[in-house]
Structure 1
Amino acid sequence: MPVIARLAATCRRLRTLARAREGVALIEFAYSLPIMITLGFGGLELVNYTTTHLRVNQIAISLADNASRAKQEIVGGNPRFRELDANEAIRAAYLQGGNLDLQENGRVVLSSLEVNSDGGQWIHWQRCGGDKTYPSKYGPQGTGATGDDFDGMGRGTRQVQAEENFAIMYAEVYYDYQPVVFGDLIPDQTVYKTAAMYVRDDRDLSGIFNPSPTAPVSGC
């Protein structure tokens, strides 16, 4: 074939290719697919993160509520709160966490906020659970035992203070967030939630009891 004829054929093919529109949508989809996938997975991660915050918050509320209700009836005396009750409240938090695996990935701190002999706020006792080592943000057991320098637990408008002869069960729940998709891209996130509940009935506030058969102490 002469050179001129070959050039003419090539030009015709190029013009035909330039007018072709059959693959435009497919090419555009191929370009946008990575962005769409990233946005989709990002939305999934955001939903999971938001749901995790909600679940951890509910765990904190339930922990404080369960501890405020638990008691051992005593004939001729006020009901007592036992080490067994603390352990069961913490175990209930683990079960409520479900696939969050709160015991391995988190920490729960249960404190009894009371009034000391000087009229100040006092963390009378404190029990913990979980493999992580986060401490209470308000101090260990015994904080505020004397004097009135300890203001109570909570921050800002959410600060709570116990009243004379009453106790508040204050729950703190830490959870190391486990990403669904972007595990290597999202920095470590610790979800922290708190809840406080007044003890429902009269309670012997002289301590936390451990009658026979004794239960393990979930110390902090």
Structure 2
Amino acid sequence: MTHQVARRRPLRSLARNTDAVSVMEFALVLPLFMTLGMYGAEIAWLNATALEVSQVAVSMADNASRIGQTDNSGVTPTISSADVESVLDGALEEGASANLEDNGRVILSSLEGHPVTGKQYIHWQQCKGKGKQESKKGKADPSGGLLSSLVNGLTMGGKTIKAPNGGAVMVAEVWYEYKGLFGTLFIDKIMLHEEAAVIARDDRSVDNGLTGNDKKNAC
């Protein structure tokens, strides 16, 4: 009996020993807190990236709408492919922190009213970036002969947008493949798509589309 009591004493002593309990508890909950923290960082990064893509789309549409404002020749300017390329380059540069050029595509379309029929159509469309995505608004119809589903304008945000007679609406689209801050640990790859439209703020000649090499960045 005495020997049994003697053997039990170390066990009781060990049970009453509270040294390093906090360390043990911390070790147990650390993986959970790390997982929650990483997941929170992933969601925050995704939201920040989506906001950046949206801002690129708005800036691109706005910059495209201002092409020709600095022309002081007194002649209504015709937009060149070089003008449009500079807008596309600017959009890619704005999204450089997210590596937009390698992981996405920027698309700029000119929504106009046909000079004869008055129906809406995409007169020209230019793209840049290594992505292969296409515009959700359809392809360019230089002659206006196809006059597809855009005859009454295009829909954005639940509203129908139309170009004024003799004018144009610059429609910007940005595609971006979000690959995850931690790869696919928490989320699969997500294709972000943002768009914006701004009416051209300058007097421009829209009858002949783009001048210059419009095939270089054709979609």
Partner residue of 2:21 out of 20, 24, 28:
24
Question: 1:112 maps to what in 2?
Answer: 110
- Report if the CA contact (8 A) 2:177-2:190 is conserved: yes
Question: 2:134 maps to what in 1?
Answer: 135
State TM-score, norm by structure 1: 0.89
Which aligned pairs between 1:33-182 and structure 2 lie closer than 5 A?
33-71=30-68, 73=71, 75-116=73-114, 117-142=116-141, 145-146=144-145, 149-150=149-150, 151-182=152-183
- After superposition, the Cα gap between the structure-2 partners of 1:97 and 1:149, relative to the gap in structure 1 and judged at 3 Å, is closer
- After superposition, the Cα gap between the structure-2 partners of 1:143 and 1:191, relative to the gap in structure 1 and judged at 3 Å, is farther
Q: Secondary structure at the match of 1:28?
A: helix
- After superposition, the Cα gap between the structure-2 partners of 1:149 and 1:58, relative to the gap in structure 1 and judged at 3 Å, is closer
State TM-score, norm by structure 2: 0.89
Which aligned pairs between 1:200-219 and structure 2 lie closer than 5 A?
200-206=201-207, 207-210=209-212, 217-219=216-218
- Report if the CA contact (8 A) 1:69-1:200 is conserved: yes
Code of the residue aligned with 1:205 in structure 2: it is V
**CA apart distance, 1:201:** 1.1
- After superposition, the Cα gap between the structure-2 partners of 1:176 and 1:115, relative to the gap in structure 1 and judged at 3 Å, is same
**CA apart distance, 1:79:** 1.4
Structure 2, unmatched stretches of 5+, are none
Deviation string for 1:113-137 (max 9, x for gaps)? 0001212111000000111111001
Give, in whole Å, the separation in 2 of the partners of 1:181 and 1:20.
41
Code of the residue aligned with 2:125 in structure 1: it is Q
Structure 1, unmatched stretches of 5+, are none
Give, in whole Å, the separation in 1 of the partners of 2:17 and 2:24.
13
Give, in whole Å, the separation in 2 of the partners of 1:144 and 1:215.
15
Give, in whole Å, the separation in 2 of the partners of 1:7 and 1:38.
46
**CA apart distance, 1:51:** 0.4
Q: Percent same amino acid at aligned positions? A: 35
- Report if the CA contact (8 A) 2:155-2:161 is conserved: yes
Give, in whole Å, the separation in 2 of the partners of 1:158 and 1:28.
56
Q: Secondary structure at the match of 1:171?
A: strand
Code of the residue aligned with 2:12 in structure 1: it is R
Give, in whole Å, the separation in 2 of the partners of 1:140 and 1:14.
79
Q: Secondary structure at the match of 2:194?
A: strand
Give, in whole Å, the separation in 2 of the partners of 1:21 and 1:93.
61
The alignment covers a number of residue pairs equal to 214
Question: 2:8 maps to what in 1?
Answer: 11
Give, in whole Å, the separation in 2 of the partners of 1:40 and 1:10.
46
Deviation string for 1:76-108 (max 9, x for gaps)? 520121111111001101110122111110011
